[in-house]
């Protein structure tokens, strides 16, 4: 009879049910702590500013956490919070929401002998967006008084010389992109453009705008659109847009200010005064629109340096230096090999002769303004990888002029050589002078060049009178 099979038939489902229940209990016991943790995190799911404070022990070459260092976060609305680094050197400070925050490291809480490598980068101004945590980086160093400062032992090590040499090459490459445009504008028009440094700042700030806001920052109804129209974009496309913006500004300045001045016969001295006024106008317009506090880009802002032999460089610096070299080679190839590049060099060499051979001088000058402004804007982007400032161009104006004068006014290759020499010299000078006055060396270079070789390294001497 089938009745004898009933008990056995009922036992099999019951066993499966027990197994299923056991699996449910085990899964619950494993998942419950995670659910509770995520629930607790949801209650404190606001954005935070975080980072890690470490320095390298020169003897063991290992990273040592800086414990107990106080970091204070404030904003313009009166928010203030602070936190201290833990045993691993890490800190995390919740903030009120999206917006700009000033992050200050209390140097008094650093262990004796430990200092900031870049004291001028304290405090940092960072932007929190879309409720995302924001990382900040304060680079610490043992036994030095900041970048370029004298070591505690008072000696000059090979490692320090190598580091300063690399920093000088980096600065020289960035300066070269700005100096080439200034030199070509002088060569083709005879104009000494004091507003060229503001094009560097404009590229930096335009990239910041594209990085964070997009066109919706000024045209609100575009907000539903994807970036760069409705929102900010990654730094790489933002840098391209910033460079294009710089080129557009260069075109506008030439088309509506200096081309009419040239056609009206305005003297070069008067045009030089115009560039000074334009520089002041652009600088304070950018202050009005941007604000006075330093900021950082939304991407690649905080990176730990990678040790390469005796030197340290962040990945963003290595990428920017590599791109600078590629761009400068491309510019040199363009000037040397293309028809328009040869026309630029011809106009810079002898404008009247170039015009008599059928070269459209005004078209060449327009292209020089656009390309020079674009290169200056890209230079500003690379400089802005460390910090974005509204008056940065004015700070490096002397360095740009020293580079162009040393290399030779009107020569693109001279600007490149001069920029590299200036970058190396002012950085290596901190071996013997205070880093705060290192830019004074650029003034000395300028004076020496004008006294002993006024035509510059690659410039040609001209007879006057």
Q: Output the pLDDT for position 8.
A: 45
Task: Give mean pLDDT, residues 313-334.
Answer: 94
The pLDDT confidence band at residue 17, using thresholds 50, 70 and 90, is low
Whole-structure pTM value: 0.76
- Which domains, and CATH codes, for the chain? 48-142 (2.60.40.10), 158-452 (1.10.3470)
Give the C-alpha separation, 84 to 63, whole Å.
18
Q: Residues 65, 45: contact at Cβ < 8 Å?
A: no
Task: Give mean pLDDT, residues 265-285.
Answer: 96
Given a cut of 50, whether residue 26 has pLDDT beyond it is: no
Among residues of the chain, what percentage have pLDDT more than 70? 85
Q: Output the pLDDT for position 237.
A: 96
Task: Give mean pLDDT, residues 157-167.
Answer: 89
The pLDDT confidence band at residue 253, using thresholds 50, 70 and 90, is very high
Task: Give mean pLDDT, residues 285-296.
Answer: 89
pLDDT tens-digit readout, 354-378: 989 899 999 999 999 999 999 999 9
Which of 358-362, 378-382, 411-415 is predicted most confidently?
A: 378-382
Give the C-alpha separation, 337 to 378, whole Å.
23
Q: Could you report how far apart the first and last alpha carbons of the chain are, in Å?
A: 131
Q: Output the pLDDT for position 252.
A: 97
Q: Output the pLDDT for position 155.
A: 45
Which of 131-140, 248-257, 427-436 is predicted most confidently?
A: 248-257
**Long-range contact set of residues 146-152: C-beta below 8 Å, sequence gap at least 24:** 146/115, 146/116, 146/117, 146/118, 146/119, 146/435, 147/117, 147/118, 147/119, 147/430, 147/435, 148/427, 148/430, 148/434, 148/435, 148/438, 149/115, 149/430, 149/434, 149/435, 152/113
* Nearby residues of 383 by Cβ (< 8 Å), 6 or more positions away: 174, 200, 204, 392, 396
155/319: higher pLDDT: 319
Given a cut of 60, whether residue 35 has pLDDT beyond it is: no
Given a cut of 50, whether residue 250 has pLDDT beyond it is: yes
Instruction: Indicate the average pLDDT of the chain.
Output: 84
Given a cut of 60, whether residue 90 has pLDDT beyond it is: yes
243/12: higher pLDDT: 243
Give the C-alpha separation, 116 to 287, whole Å.
28
Q: Output the pLDDT for position 303.
A: 80
Q: Cα–Cα–Cα angle for 241, 243, 244, nearest 5°?
A: 65
């Amino acid at each position: 009879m089938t009745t004898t099979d009933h008990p056995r038939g009922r036992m099999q489902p019951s066993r499966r049910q027990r197994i299923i229940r056991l699996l449910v209990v085990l899964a619950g016991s494993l998942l419950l702590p995670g659910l509770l943790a995520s629930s607790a995190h949801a209650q404190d799911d606001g954005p935070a500013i975080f980072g890690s404070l470490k320095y390298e022990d020169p003897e063991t070459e290992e990273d040592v956490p800086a414990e107990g260092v106080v970091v204070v976060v404030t904003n313009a609305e009166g928010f203030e919070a602070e936190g201290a680094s833990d045993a691993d050197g890490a800190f995390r400070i919740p903030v009120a929401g999206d917006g700009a925050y000033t992050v200050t490291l209390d140097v008094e809480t650093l262990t004796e002998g430990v200092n900031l490598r870049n004291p001028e980068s304290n405090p940092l101004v960072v932007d929190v967006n879309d409720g995302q945590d924001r990382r900040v980086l304060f680079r610490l160093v043992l036994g030095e008084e900041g970048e370029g400062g004298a070591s505690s032992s008072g000696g000059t090590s090979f490692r320090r010389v190598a580091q300063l040499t690399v920093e000088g090459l980096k600065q020289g490459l960035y300066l070269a992109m700005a100096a080439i445009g200034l030199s070509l504008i002088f060569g083709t028009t005879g104009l000494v453009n004091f507003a060229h440094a503001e094009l560097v700042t404009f590229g930096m700030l335009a990239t910041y705008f594209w990085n964070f806001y997009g066109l919706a920052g000024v045209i609100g109804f575009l907000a539903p659109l994807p970036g760069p129209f409705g929102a900010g974009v990654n730094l790489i496309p933002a840098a391209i847009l910033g460079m294009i913006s710089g080129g557009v500004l260069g075109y506008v300045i030439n088309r509506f200010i200096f081309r009419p001045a040239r056609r009206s016969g305005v003297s070069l001295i008067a045009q030089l005064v115009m560039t000074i006024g334009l520089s002041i106008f652009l600088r304070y317009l950018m202050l009005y629109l941007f604000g006075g506090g330093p900021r950082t880009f939304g991407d690649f802002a905080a990176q730990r340096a990678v040790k390469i032999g005796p030197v340290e460089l962040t990945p963003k610096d290595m990428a920017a230096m590599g791109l600078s070299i590629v761009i400068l080679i491309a510019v040199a190839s363009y000037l040397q090999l293309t028809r328009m590049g040869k026309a630029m060099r011809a106009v810079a060499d002898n404008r009247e002769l170039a015009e008599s051979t059928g070269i459209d001088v005004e078209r060449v000058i327009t292209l020089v303004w656009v390309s020079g402004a674009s290169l200056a804007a890209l230079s500003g982007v690379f400089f802005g990888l460390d910090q974005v400032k509204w008056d940065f161009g004015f700070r490096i104006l002397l360095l740009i002029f020293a580079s162009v004068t040393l290399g030779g006014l009107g020569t693109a290759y001279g600007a490149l050589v001069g920029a590299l020499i200036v970058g190396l010299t002012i950085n290596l000078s901190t071996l013997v002078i205070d880093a705060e006055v290192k830019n004074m060396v650029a003034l000395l270079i300028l004076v020496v060049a004008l006294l002993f070789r006024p035509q510059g390294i690659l410039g040609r001497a001209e007879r006057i009178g």
